[in-house]
Amino acid sequence: GAGVSQSPSNKVTEKGKDVELRCDPISGHTALYWYRQSLGQGLEFLIYFQGNSAPDKSGLPSDRFSAERTGGSVSTLTIQRTQQEDSAVYLCASSLGEGEYNEQFFGPGTRLTVL
Amino acid sequence: GQNIDQPTEMTATEGAIVQINCTYQTSGFNGLFWYQQHAGEAPTFLSYNVLDGLEEKGRFSSFLSRSKGYSYLLLKELQMKDSASYLCAAHGSGNTGKLIFGQGTTLQVKP
**Is pLDDT of A55 > 70?**
yes
Task: Average the pLDDT over B92-102 and give the result.
Answer: 78
Contact A44 B101 (CB under 8 A): yes
Average per-residue pLDDT in chain A? 92
Taking chain A, what is the end-to-end CA distance rounded to the nearest angstrom?
A: 37
Nearest-Cα residue of chain B relative to residue A3:
B42
Helices (runs of H) and strands (runs of E) counted in chain A = 0, 11
Contact B97 A104 (CB under 8 A): yes
**Percent of chain B at pLDDT exceeding 70:** 96
pLDDT classification of A41: cutoffs 50, 70, 90: confident
What count of CB pairs under 8 Å joins A to B?
A: 67
pLDDT of residue B54: 96
**Is pLDDT of B69 > 80?**
yes
Best residue in A43, A94, A102 to probe B by mutation, most B CBs within 10 Å? A43
Q: CB-CB: which of A40, A98, A109 is closest to B95?
A: A98
pLDDT of residue B98: 84
d(CA B54, CA B61): 7
**Is pLDDT of A83 > 80?**
yes
d(CA A85, CA B70): 32
d(CA B9, CA B84): 10
pLDDT classification of B1: cutoffs 50, 70, 90: low
Q: How many CB atoms lie within 10 A of CB B53?
A: 9
B80 phi and psi angles, rounded to 5 deg: -60, -35
Q: Which residues pair with A68 in a beta bridge?
A: A76
**Are residues B2 and B27 in contact, defined by beta-carbon separation less than 8 angstroms?**
yes
Contact B103 A41 (CB under 8 A): yes
